Amino acid sequence: MVRHARIADVPIIHQLLMVYAREGQLLGRSLADIYAVVRDFYVYEEDGNILGVGALSVFWKDLAEVRSLAVASGQQGKGIGRQIVEECLKEAREMGLERVFCLTYKPDFFRALGFTEIEKSELPQKIWRDCINCVQFPDCDETALAINLLSQP
């Protein structure tokens, strides 16, 4: 089941994200940062265990990002990540957003969900809010993809 994250979920979200951050698969986030944006997060819970996390972060009147998407080791390939992204996209539509993007090392996963590759230069809000402070800036090797919600059912 996918649901909005709760305060009690934050330590588990942090642990799951840090596994992938240590592997260089996503950027780590501090506990303080996760607490500050806990309302952005969704979790996939099964039998009381959180098996996946992801967040929808609004950037501008027409733009949001799916970020911090992670699925517990051994749980990949079961549709958990897909369900989290779909819930993020559903919320984005309900909010009236036109486009959702992601920066990822797994572009094929997002392509299968209808995202298409874009240039990072199309995301100045992301660059000035987050990327400018990233240790990988300006040599980011993630792939930028986006989905236009106005052309999707």
CATH code for the domain of 102:
3.40.630.30
Contacts of the segment 46-49: beta carbons below 8 A, 24+ positions apart = 46/1
Q: For 144, left (φ over 0), alpha (ψ -120 to 50), or beta?
A: beta
Per DSSP, the three-state class of 52 is: strand
Per-residue confidence in pLDDT tens, the chain, 153 aa:
999 999 999 999 999 999 998 887 887 789 999 999 999 999 999 999 999 999 999 988 899 999 999 999 999 999 999 999 999 999 999 999 999 999 898 999 999 999 999 987 777 555 545 544 555 555 666 888 999 998 766
Range of the domain at 74: 2-151
Q: Peptide bond before 11: cis, by omega within 30 degrees of 0?
A: no
Overall number of domains in the chain: 1
Lookup: tokens for 150:
């106005």
